[in-house]
């Protein structure tokens, strides 16, 4: 019984630890990413007022691809986890299991798809 309690506590710690890390990533990295992709590029502002465009973030070098992966994967985990938790606080507590299942499914598929695209581009030389 004590061992199971520890297992549950450890799993909770891991899940909430990743959630907190995702929160830091969303707070520190997501604003600059949105600025670059949704403001600077469409409106031709610095740093995309020259010849470069946001695809350079991915193809420019490995660090850019890593930045995209960490920012999007971390933000997706944090956003979905927090949103499904918020839904349970507005009357959907009885659907908590279903919400968790849907949430983790979206997180899992999203991160796998993202890793697949970036991995494929890395292996075929698109990412230099």
Partner 1 sequence: MGDTSRYPEHRRKLSPRWWTANRHYAMYMVREWTSLFVAVYSLIFIYGLSLWATGSRANFLNFLKNPAIVGFSLVALVFIMYHAVTWFYLLGAISPIKIGRSKTKPWQALVLNLILLVVVSYLAIWLLVLR
Q: Does 105 bind partner 1 (CB under 8 A)?
A: no
How far lies 102's CA from each of 17, 34, 37, 80, in Å?
20, 26, 28, 9
End-to-end Cα separation, the chain, in angstroms: 52
Q: Which residue has the tokens 């919400």?
A: 99
CB of 18 to partner 1, least distance (A): 13
Does residue 98 interact with partner 1 by CB under 8 A?
Answer: no
Check: CB of residue 84 under 8 Å from CB of residue 100: yes
Contacts to partner 1 by CB under 8 A: 1, 4-5, 8, 11-12, 15, 23-24, 26-39, 41-42, 47-48, 52-58, 60-61, 63-64, 67, 72-73, 75-76, 78-83, 85-86, 89-91, 93, 100, 106, 110, 113-114, 117, 120-121
């Amino acid at each position: 019984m004590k061992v199971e309690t520890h297992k549950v506590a450890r799993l909770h710690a891991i899940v909430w630890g990743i959630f907190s890390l995702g929160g830091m990533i969303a707070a520190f990295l997501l604003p600059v990413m949105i600025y670059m992709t949704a403001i600077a590029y469409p409106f031709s502002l610095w740093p995309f007022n020259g010849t470069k465009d946001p695809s350079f973030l991915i193809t420019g070098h490995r660090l850019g691809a890593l930045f995209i992966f960490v920012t999007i994967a971390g933000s997706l985990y944090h956003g979905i986890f927090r949103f499904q938790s918020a839904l349970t606080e507005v009357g959907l507590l009885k659907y908590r299991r279903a919400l968790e299942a849907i949430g983790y499914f979206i997180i899992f598929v999203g991160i796998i798809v993202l890793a697949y695209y970036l991995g494929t581009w890395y292996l075929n030389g698109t990412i230099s």
